Amino acid sequence: MPRWLKRMLVVLITVFTFGLVTPPEYLYVDDAKADKQHKSGYIRDVVPSTTTFEDAELPSIHFKFEDVDSFVAYAMDQAEKQSVEKFGTKIGPVIEEEFRGAVLPEIEKVLTDIGTEREQDITNLEISEHPASGYGEKIFHVYDLQSGQDLIRFHVRRENPPKDGYWFNFHYHKAEDNFQKHYTLGEIYWNRNMPPKWMS
């Protein structure tokens, strides 16, 4: 396979999967061998010689949204992926179905509202990555790419009302009130035992 075609496949796989899928190794292994022979190749062009391909950080890709619908579609995809990542393998199977049915539609309403409010500069909106693990509340944040400031923070907190077991309270905070007020999206019951840590 020609080297230019391999390079194009690596770029397309990375772009269309938002960097979540690693391109197959055979697309860049030959180029890595070519680098050792001092030939120009994909690895050498992208990764400094002091790092290995596995250690290198790929450049982040920001998508410029054309309208509110494209922003909401992207944001909902990220919301679902990061929520499932946060829940982990112990909490996820228990609450995932109820989360998709009750909480995700509420998140979509909030994302649509912020997209509509910021329609003039919708290309500056971005979704944070990496939900908080352990006991952290963060699921994801929507922020302004230019200023770097959060606009909305989507969180989940554990609650344990007396004699009522454990609940997950899904909520968001807005920059307008300095993230002080909780706006509830929904609550999901766990059981009477303390839930495991997030991402466990």
SS (H, E, C) the chain: CCHHHHHHHHHHHHHHCCCCCCCCCHHHHHHHHHHHCCCCCHHHHHCCCCCCCCCCCCCCCCCCCCCHHHHHHHHHHHHHHHHHHHHHHHHHHHHHHHHHHHHHHHHHHHHHHHHHHCHHHHHHEEECCCCCCECCCEEEEEEECCCCCEEEEEEEEEECCCCCCCEEEEEEEEHHHCCCCCEEEEEEECCCCCCCCECC
How confident is the model at residue 64, as a pLDDT? 64
How confident is the model at residue 27, as a pLDDT? 54
The identity of residue 51, as a single letter, is: T
The CA-atom distances, in angstroms, between 159 and each of 19, 79, 89 are: 35, 22, 20
How confident is the model at residue 22, as a pLDDT? 65
How confident is the model at residue 52, as a pLDDT? 41
Question: Distance (Å, rounded) from C-alpha 2 to C-alpha 31?
Answer: 11
pLDDT in tens, the chain (200 residues): 666 676 777 677 767 776 666 666 555 554 444 443 333 332 333 334 343 444 444 444 555 677 899 999 999 999 999 999 999 999 999 999 999 999 999 999 999 999 999 998 888 899 999 999 999 999 999 999 989 999 999 999 999 998 899 999 999 999 999 999 999 999 999 999 999 999 99
Q: Is the pTM of this model over 0.75?
A: no
How confident is the model at residue 140, as a pLDDT? 96
| Cα 101–chain centre separation | 20
